[in-house]
């Protein structure tokens, strides 16, 4: 019986899982969402994250439900795409109302402690590092952002699944360069950001590549993140591992992640074990085949990575 239950559990999860944002759970009542409708909405959001064309997404029953219920709309002019801006705007209005119920500070004040406290609350733990604290001060001193603007910026980022301040630096620079100074302008800008593209751009920087993100690169990221269930941090770790190879490329990175996927790597701890095992196997192969080892150009202290030979 236990074996059958284990087989059934594996069957249920083998096609992947869908995460439910804690923020949506917290705001179910304000959004007037039943548990059933919350499930539909989460399924629609997950489908939207695959990055498929709008016309293709519109065939999905959960996307059609979201459009019919007003949680999503068509946008983009001639290049039609589906946007969840109505949902983001509802969440933003809820956040604004909650802020209005709190004591209002004097205009012009910069409440550093309040920002730290709010970040800890959003994350659910005391995790703000020294570098992150310096970044918050930079937003005020260099960009001239007020406490309200900074909190709105962080809130909009967290509602989109970005929880590390280091992910915000490029976005914050673009907000500043774009001359956006009101919370309404900021909300509109954040609604238009393609988060998948931003993450792929970060992967490209890790690999030492620049230029526009291509469709094949986006498709690979969707496969790693959505279909294989790998977190962005795990993909970044694989990219870090890939730069040790001679042939740094998305194709090579795909081979590393495919190997990890087949071995059941799901987090950074698993990844470190996979890297160590791979290094040990490579050393054993080099001892057994010295001529081949001498022909491999070593570019780091840990040797050349050759995942394609596994």
Residue 53 has a pLDDT of 83
Instruction: Name the most confidently modeled range: 191-195, 223-227, 303-307.
Output: 223-227
pLDDT in tens, 219-265: 899 899 888 989 888 999 999 888 877 778 899 999 999 999 999 99
Q: Where are the domains of the chain?
A: 2-86, 103-193, 196-309
Q: What is the DSSP letter of 228?
A: S
% of the chain residues with pLDDT over 90: 12
Backbone region of residue 107 per phi and psi (left: phi > 0; alpha: psi in -120 to 50; beta: other values): beta
What's the rounded Cα separation, in Å, for the pair 67 and 73?
A: 6
CA atoms within 13 A on the CB side of 269: 0
What's the rounded Cα separation, in Å, for the pair 73 and 58?
A: 11
pLDDT in tens, 15-51: 667 677 777 777 787 888 888 888 888 888 888 888 7
Tell me, yes or no, if the pTM score tops 0.75.
Answer: no
Residue 150 has a pLDDT of 92
DSSP string, 166-183: GGTHHHHHHHHHTT--SH
Contact 128, 163 (CB under 8 A): no
Please state at what angle helix 147-158 crosses helix 85-100, rounded to 10 degrees: 140
What's the rounded Cα separation, in Å, for the pair 153 and 171?
A: 10
């Amino acid at each position: 019986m236990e074996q059958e239950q284990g087989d059934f559990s594996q069957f249920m999860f083998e096609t992947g899982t869908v995460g439910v944002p804690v923020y949506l759970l917290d705001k179910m009542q304000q959004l007037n969402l039943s548990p059933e409708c919350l499930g539909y909405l989460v399924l629609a959001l997950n489908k939207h994250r695959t990055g498929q064309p709008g016309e293709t997404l519109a065939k999905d029953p959960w996307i059609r439900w979201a459009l019919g219920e007003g949680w999503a709309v068509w946008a983009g002019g001639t290049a039609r795409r589906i946007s969840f801006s109505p949902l983001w705007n509802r969440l933003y209005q809820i956040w604004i109302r909650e802020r209005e119920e709190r004591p209002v500070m004097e205009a012009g004040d910069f409440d550093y402690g309040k920002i730290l406290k709010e970040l800890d609350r959003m994350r659910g733990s005391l995790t703000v590092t020294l570098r992150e604290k310096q970044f918050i001060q930079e937003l005020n001193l260099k960009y001239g952002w007020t406490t309200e603007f900074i909190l709105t910026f962080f809130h909009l980022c967290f509602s989109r699944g970005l929880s590390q301040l280091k992910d915000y630096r490029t976005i914050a620079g673009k907000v500043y360069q774009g001359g956006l100074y009101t919370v309404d302008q900021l909300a509109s800008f954040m609604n238009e950001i393609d988060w998948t593209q931003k993450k792929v751009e970060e992967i490209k920087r890790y690999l030492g590549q620049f230029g526009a993100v291509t469709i094949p690169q986006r498709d690979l990221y969707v496969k790693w993140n959505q279909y294989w269930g790998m977190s962005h941090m795990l993909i970044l770790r694989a990219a870090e591992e890939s730069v040790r190879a001679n042939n740094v490329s998305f194709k090579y990175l795909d081979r590393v992640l495919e190997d990890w996927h087949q071995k059941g790597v799901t987090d950074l701890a698993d990844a470190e074990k996979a890297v160590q095992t791979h290094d040990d196997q490579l050393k054993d192969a080099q001892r057994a085949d010295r001529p081949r080892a001498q022909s491999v150009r070593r570019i780091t202290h840990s040797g050349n990575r050759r995942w394609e030979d596994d």
